[in-house]
Chain A
Amino acid sequence: MSGSDTGRTFRCAVLSVVKHAYVPHGVAAHPRFELAVVADDADAPSWAHERNQQFANAYGIPYVRNVEQAIKEHDVQVAIVSSEAERHCDLSVLAANLGLHVVQDKPMSNRLSECDRVVHACEANRVKFLLWNRNFLPSVMHARRIVSSGRIGTPYAIHVDFYFAKDSGPRKGSRGAGDPPINWLDRQLEAHADGSDGGVGREPMGELQIEGIYPLAYIRLLAGAEFERVFARTTAHFHQANVDNDVEDLATVTLEMQGGLVGSLCIGRIGAASHPNIGEIKIHVLGSRGGLVLSEARPEVEVYYRGQPPAEFRHRRIANDNDFQLVQNFADAIDNDGETILDAKAGRAICATIDAAILSGRTGRPETVI
């Protein structure tokens, strides 16, 4: 689909919006994007239909229980995919094959072969793909400017700490004798209420798969290099749901990149008691002429008041127009036949890195990123 008519409005089909809907909300907030229809497969579970309908009602747009029909009948140019993780790529491929540009929620997929299908479909149909990310946060852009300016010289090591100080159901060790293991999907559906349902899907996912895209995208952005080899340690340290489903909630990854760059990632869903705000999220960069230590949350304002709910973050991020910048970047890519800040190939590369890290966590050996 050509984007030669710069400045036009893009009509969007929201394909399955079953978790907290930050992606379609983010797209809809941009003046050049208009939500036209919500669609899902007719055989989607009832809870999915219910959430799709609620979202459609909130925007006053129709909900169609047939994805192809919705795309064909509503004159849409963009698909926004926010389904269960294992359906992400299937819906993106379907949309790309019908000529739609795609904005997809993370994770790209829990299967690398699915990512390959998206890469191929986007190339074959010459459509743009944006994997949702946080690369336009003010602090990340600040880091990028400092690195690009050469003030710390050539980077040789990049580290990211990415801790979400959130709980995720019962604590590890809380399961009583004779209690059944926690069902992953049931837990995620329950987590919808507080917006911590990032792992929605039938197949359990650890923190690397759910959130790893964000910090690895930072490192990739700052390093300008691909990941080649990883060594990882993974464990379920905090939450019973992770123990029961054999997926990690805490992981560390040593990263070896092109050109001899090295780095590391610490990631975890570390529990609400572990930090007064969303969590310690930091970027450390070492270069040939200096180092950079940066808090991802800044700038922020601290707000405290009597009667403040315990779960409310005391530090509020400000000047965050990540959503707008992402969508603007997507529009620019369509208008100018350019690349998005995190396209299908980049998303696939990150997915491959996460796959290798999970494998390394099991084998105890460094693993090559394929």
Chain B
Amino acid sequence: MSTMHLAVVGTETESRPLIDATERLTGIECVCVPHGSSVEGVDAVACCGSHENSVQAICDFARSGMHLLVNLAALRTTTDAETMVAECGEADVQLMIVPPRRLLRSVQAVRQSLDANELGEPGLLRIHNWVTEQDEEIDQLLLHELDLAIYLYDGPPTTVYSVAHDSGNSRHFVQVHLGFEGGGMALIDVTTGLPEGDNYYSLSLIGANGSAYADDHHNAQLLYCGGPAMAERTREHALDWTEPLRQFAAAIDRSRKPAIGADSALAVLSVMSAARRCVETGSAMRRQGGDYERV
């Protein structure tokens, strides 16, 4: 395998997990570039974060002949994804859209348990993701969790329903209820309404033969400094980008489509759009062809 020269575009915080991954792999030389800077002399670009002009910038990279590793968070609509796919196709460069939540160690442990057929057919996925206002936008938060549902069920939902709660003019809570082929279901709630401090995350998957519970509540440690005990979480390590980066490098080297292409991004953006319409109309949506229509 020849050496791949990779530009990692993003803030220090956004880029760090990916840079760490490059250090664990051979054959990748990496430079870090802030958002908005020009990129030259590299084979590929990794866009780690989500910014309003991300799609335009990514298309510019494609037109310059650079292969692209993109964080799902960079996309907001199916049009974004379609535009990106078209540009990459025209420029004949590889496009890999990575949903970073899938890279969490806890999610990987659940996925491995499913793959090993320990849990049986999944029946119910429950996710709570509560963060503070400063941490993430509500839509981005939801996008990642919807992707996890599609990932763990191996396909898009057949039914979507959603409710939301607003504070003033700002939406700070969304709950999405999904139904899958064969009777499986998922309930996901996300909020950006926690006060400043720790976030909370919980994912449980109930299968026909067993269940997996990945819950910050279970991983809380106690700290005594006078007054009521405080709960502190022993955190998972940072997202592990090693495997997607290895797959990306291999796809470029062998000129073949990456394992995670744009299809899953298009699917999750379509569900996201259906969820928005549920909140607007108060109706449930059912999958018809590749889109969702009111029930």
A residues apposed to B, CB below 8 Å? 156-157, 159, 161, 163, 171-172, 231, 233, 235-238, 250, 252, 254, 256, 260, 262, 264, 266, 268, 270-271, 273-275, 280, 282, 284, 286, 288-291, 293, 295, 363-366
Shortest CB-to-CB span from B117 to chain A, Å, is 13
Chain B residues, CB < 8 A from A273: 209-210
B156-174 toward A: CB 8 Å interface, digit per residue (1/0)?
0001010111010000010
Write out the residue numbers on chain B whose beta carbons fall within 8 Å of the beta carbon of A260.
165
Q: How far is the CA of A246 from the CA of B167 in the complex (A)?
A: 42
What's the Cα separation between A124 and B29 when bound, in Å?
83
B191 A286 Cβ-Cβ under 8 A: yes
Stretch at the interface among B64-72, B95-103, B120-128: B120-128
Q: Which of B197-216 contact A (CB under 8 A)?
A: 200, 202, 204, 206-211, 213, 216
Q: Tell whether, in the assembled complex, residue A256 and residue B163 are in contact, meaning their CB atoms are under 8 Å apart.
A: yes
Structural contact, A262 and B173, CB atoms closer than 8 A: yes
Q: Which residues of B contact A (CB under 8 A)?
A: 121, 123-124, 126, 128, 130, 159, 161, 163-165, 167, 173, 175, 177, 179, 183-187, 189, 191, 193-195, 200, 202, 204, 206-211, 213, 216-217, 282-284, 286, 295
A187 to B185, CA, bound (A): 27
Cross-interface CB contact of B167 among A236, A252, A288, cutoff 8 Å: A288
Chain B's closest residue to A287 (CB) is B193
In the complex, residue of chain A having the shortest beta-carbon distance to the beta carbon of B182: A235
- Nearest-neighbour CB distance to chain A for B8, whole angstroms, equals 34
- CB < 8 Å: which of B130, B183, B186, B284 contacts A237? B183
Q: State whether A366 touches B213 (Cβ < 8 A).
A: no
User: With the chains together, A291 CA to B179 CA distance in Å?
Assistant: 27
In the assembled complex, which residues on chain A have CB atoms less than 8 Å from the CB atom of B283?
Answer: 365-366
Question: Does A262 contact B163, Cβ atoms closer than 8 Å?
Answer: yes
Specify the chain A residue showing the minimal Cβ separation from B188: A264
Looking at chain B's contact residues, is the secondary structure mostly helix, strand, loop, or mixed? strand
Partner pick for B211 among A235, A264, A274, CB 8 A cutoff: A274
Contact of A291 among B159, B200, B207 (CB under 8 A): B200
Chain B min CB distance to A51 (Å): 33
Give Cα A127–Cα B145 distance, bound, in whole angstroms: 50
Main secondary structure, interface of A, reads strand
Complex alpha-carbon distance, A39 and B282, angstroms: 49
Instruction: Note all chain A residues with C-beta closer than 8 A to B286.
Output: 364
State the CA gap A235–B182 with chains docked (Å).
9
Kindly list chain A residues whose C-beta atoms are within 8 Å of the C-beta of B206: 163, 250, 268, 270, 274
Q: Is the CB of A365 within 8 A of B295?
A: yes
Chain B residues with CB below 8 A from A171, complex form: 208
A235 contacts B123, CB within 8 Å?
A: yes
Q: Could you give 29 example pairs across A and B, Cβ below 8 Å? A: A157-B189, A159-B187, A163-B206, A171-B208, A231-B161, A231-B177, A233-B179, A235-B123, A237-B208, A238-B208, A252-B124, A252-B126, A254-B177, A254-B187, A256-B163, A262-B163, A262-B173, A270-B206, A274-B207, A275-B211, A280-B204, A286-B130, A293-B200, A295-B217, A364-B159, A364-B179, A364-B286, A365-B283, A365-B284
Beta-carbon contact of B163 and A289 below 8 Å: no
Q: Assess the B189–A172 pair: CB atoms within 8 A.
A: no
Instruction: Looking at the assembled complex, report how far the CB atom of A191 sits from the nearest CB atom of chain B, in whole angstroms.
Output: 20
| Cβ B165 vs Cβ A156 within 8 A | yes
Give min CB distance, A31 to chain B, whole Å. 35
A366: B residues at CB distance < 8 A: 161, 282-284
B278 to chain A, nearest CB (A): 9
